[in-house]
């Protein structure tokens, strides 16, 4: 049996402006510039402060006038709205006759790594079918330059996809041809083969090159584990000879695909800081990076249109009312966007100011050991903002200081208590750990146990497993792999 009933619910919903502020908080300065450009393109009411208002007036804006005056106007808001109803064919023009020549102007563009390899196939004396097979092999080479699939699998693929009956021997012969391509080492199936392909192009008459090739062929596992004594015993060589051979190997590129460089394909990734911190007369001065951030306002012509409409609302036609409603929606949207930008700026400045105040001793000179333990909740409590808001502010944002450019997340770290009871940042411990490793004897690198004892002597009660965790976070290998001759 169906029954109707009333039920009250208390729900929390974000307003469109709140959603807009949240989205703007998350994005860095570069993306914000693009977001503002997009809003300027989509909303004719929005304009850059101090810009030429005549441009907007001639292109999009027009006063909402009475029907008598509108006859003399070249363009009105109603025209702007009604443009959406014009069929596409009326907006297209073909001013070319059949006899006109249409020539595309070529432009220079960089070739990719795989295109560079395919170009080299043309130098091989092979048939069309074999050229197709060679291209298929290159298609399976990854960006690092390695062939990750088995030749037998590729043979099955070309038989299924292209109906070409190739043999394993034929595919291996083509692979060996490809392995002679530039850059050296391309087409290898593992690191060992990659390094050997590169050594193959060096002068074998040099003792260091000959020994390096033997090391990779016979004692590759010992080499990767840095068991140098075993290698010296195996080939009856001394420290100096082994050192020269290893130097030859270290010159090789483990990722030959990265060696291919086309300047036309390079995209320079530049970090644009969201904040700028300067030290002036012993005082820290924080500013938002507003270099490409225009000041926005609402076009006066549109505001005048609304005022004229409100003054004579009763006498206006339905078309005028629709036009006025369109303008009002655009004005409201522009106001929301300007307020969201302003709120974003205030939140960013407030949050960064509290971070600087919390870590003032560090920001004065950039000494990493002066960083205090700080988590998101610490800044949330100081700003009275939600932790999620602080997280959004610190995500993908950078600050330019007088000692370098840093991501905001760099300043957050967990705390650890020393023997004295003092709380210190884990970043301070990592810095001491890094200094110890940099100053160690590379012939006998410090083990995690030894590092743990050194830290305990400095009043940091760190267990060996914690040392191992911090070392891995710093990207430092174990003692055995840090060993040098």
> What are the tens digits of pLDDT across the range 309-318?
766 665 566 7
**The pLDDT of residue 94:** 47
Evaluate if residue 447 carries a pLDDT over 70.
yes
Instruction: Confirm whether 304 is domain-assigned.
Output: yes
Proportion of the chain above pLDDT 70, given as a percent: 80
Q: Do 387 and 306 fall into the same domain?
A: yes
Q: Give per-residue pLDDT as tens, 212-257.
A: 999 999 999 888 888 888 989 889 988 888 889 998 998 899 888 8
- The single residue listed with the structure tokens 């083990």 is 447
In angstroms, rounded to a whole number, what is the distance separating the alpha carbons of residues 223 and 416?
39
In angstroms, rounded to a whole number, what is the distance separating the alpha carbons of residues 395 and 464?
32
Q: Do 279 and 407 fall into the same domain?
A: yes
In angstroms, rounded to a whole number, what is the distance separating the alpha carbons of residues 450 and 22?
48
Left, alpha or beta for 396 (phi > 0: left; psi -120 to 50: alpha)? left
Neighbours of 301 (CB within 10 A): 20
Q: Do 358 and 425 fall into the same domain?
A: no
Q: Do 407 and 283 fall into the same domain?
A: yes
Q: Give per-residue pLDDT as tens, 97-140.
A: 445 444 444 544 457 888 888 888 888 888 888 888 888 899 88
Q: What is the span of the domain harbouring residue 347?
A: 275-411
**The pLDDT of residue 63:** 40
Q: Give per-residue pLDDT as tens, 63-109.
A: 443 443 444 444 444 444 444 444 544 444 444 444 544 444 454 44
Q: Do 365 and 309 fall into the same domain?
A: yes
Whole-model pTM? 0.55
| 413 membership: H or E segment, kind and range | none
Number of domains the chain is built from:
2
């Amino acid at each position: 049996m169906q029954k109707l009933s009333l039920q009250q619910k208390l729900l929390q919903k974000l307003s469109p402006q709140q959603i807009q502020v949240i989205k703007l908080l998350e994005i860095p300065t570069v993306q914000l510039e693009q977001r503002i450009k997009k809003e300027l393109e989509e909303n004719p009411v929005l304009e850059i402060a101090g810009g030429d208002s005549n441009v907007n007036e001639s292109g999009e804006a027009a006063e909402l006038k009475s029907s008598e005056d509108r006859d003399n106007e070249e363009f009105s808001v109603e025209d702007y709205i009604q443009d959406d109803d014009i069929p596409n064919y009326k907006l297209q023009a073909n001013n070319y006759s059949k006899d006109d020549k249409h020539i595309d102007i070529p432009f220079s563009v960089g070739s990719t790594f795989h295109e560079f390899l395919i170009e080299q196939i043309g130098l091989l004396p092979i048939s069309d079918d074999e050229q197709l097979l060679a291209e298929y092999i290159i298609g399976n080479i990854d960006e690092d330059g390695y062939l990750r699939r088995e030749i037998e699998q590729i043979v099955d693929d070309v038989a299924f996809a292209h109906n070409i009956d190739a043999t394993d021997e034929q595919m291996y012969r083509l692979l060996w041809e490809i392995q002679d391509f530039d850059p050296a080492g391309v087409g290898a199936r593992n690191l060992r083969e990659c390094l050997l392909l590169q050594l193959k192009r060096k002068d074998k008459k040099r003792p260091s090159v000959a020994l390096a090739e033997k090391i990779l062929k016979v004692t590759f596992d010992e080499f990767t584990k840095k068991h140098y004594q075993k290698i010296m015993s195996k080939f009856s060589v001394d420290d100096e000879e082994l050192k020269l051979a290893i130097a030859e190997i270290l010159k090789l590129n483990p990722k030959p695909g990265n060696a291919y460089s086309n300047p036309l394909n390079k995209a320079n990734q530049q970090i644009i800081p969201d904040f700028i911190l300067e030290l002036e007369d012993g005082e820290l001065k924080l500013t938002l990076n507003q270099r490409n951030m225009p000041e926005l306002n609402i076009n006066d012509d549109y505001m005048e249109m609304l005022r004229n409409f409100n003054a004579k609302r009763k006498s206006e036609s339905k078309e005028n009312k629709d036009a006025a409603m369109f303008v009002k929606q655009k004005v409201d949207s522009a106001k929301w966007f300007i307020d969201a930008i302003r709120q974003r700026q205030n939140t960013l400045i407030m949050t960064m100011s509290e971070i600087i105040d919390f870590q003032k001793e560090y920001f004065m000179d950039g000494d990493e050991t002066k960083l205090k333990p700080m988590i998101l909740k610490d800044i949330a409590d100081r700003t009275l903002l939600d932790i999620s808001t602080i997280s959004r502010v610190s995500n993908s944002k950078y600050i330019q200081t007088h000692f370098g450019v840093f991501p905001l997340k760099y300043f957050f770290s967990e705390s650890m208590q020393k023997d004295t009871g003092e709380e210190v940042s884990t970043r301070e411990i990592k810095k001491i750990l890094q200094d110890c490793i940099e100053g160690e004897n590379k012939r006998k690198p410090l083990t995690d146990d030894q590092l743990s004892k050194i830290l305990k002597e400095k009043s940091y009660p760190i267990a060996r497993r914690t040392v191992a965790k911090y070392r891995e976070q710093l990207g430092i290998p174990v003692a055995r792999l840090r060993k040098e001759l």
